[in-house]
Amino acid sequence: MLFGIFGNNNGNRHVIIKAPMSGKVVDLSDLPDEVFAQKMVGDGIAIKPSEGIVAAPFNGIVKQVFPTGHALVLESMEGLAVLIHIGLDTVNLKGEGFRLLVEEGSTVSEGTVLMEFDQELIEKNSYPLESPIIMPEGQKIKSIEFTKEKEVKKGQDVLMKVELR
């Protein structure tokens, strides 16, 4: 098992979520999409990407791949599900501009490239690029510490530290 970097704080489990893409950090409440802004899907943070590459933010498995390629769910070694959703309303592109490089059930290591996407195509179709990184299973979470950084680099910077119940 690969628990070395997470430590064990009095029996509490932690998940370190690195930035899955490079770009500007955006608070969910600032998103022009009420479902994400009001955390109806779950808590998290968003990134306005500076490049069209998404990498695994931790070691885990690909739990779900959306048929249109605009989103996927990863599960950490500790069992925390994380939804990575590229842009807003991008489901309407019906897969155009998205290239998935993994499939459901794939085991991934931190930094594994998961997908590529065409930023220009998304913007040309007037969809916001801000990409929510959400934890939909809030009942498993005790606390979340978000980065204070305004910009993050894919695979290098810690985006969130999550303490599990």
Is 39 a domain residue?
yes
**Inside any domain, residue 1:** no
Domain that holds residue 55: 13-164
Which sign, positive or negative, has the C-alpha torsion 96, 118, 114, 15?
negative
Position 153 scores a pLDDT of: 97
Predicted confidence (pLDDT) per residue in 134-162, tens digit: 999 999 999 999 999 999 999 999 999 99
Answer yes or no: are the C-beta atoms of 61 and 75 closer than 8 Å: yes
The catalytic residue among 13, 14, 18, 85 is: 85
Q: What is the pTM of this model?
A: 0.92
**Pairing, β 113-117 against β 53-55:** antiparallel
Interval 109-132 mean pLDDT: 97
Q: Is 20 a domain residue?
A: yes
The H or E element spanning position 123 is helix 119-124
Weakest mean pLDDT among 8-17, 53-62, 90-99, 115-124: 8-17
Q: Residue 35 pLDDT more than 80? A: yes
pLDDT in tens, 61-97: 999 999 999 999 999 999 999 999 999 999 999 999 9
**CATH code, 142:** 2.70.70.10
Does the residue 8 lie in any domain?
A: no
**Hey, what are 57's tokens?**
């933010």
Q: Residue for token digits 């996407």?
A: 117
Our answer to whether residue 14 is catalytic in this structure is no
| Number of domains the chain contains | 1
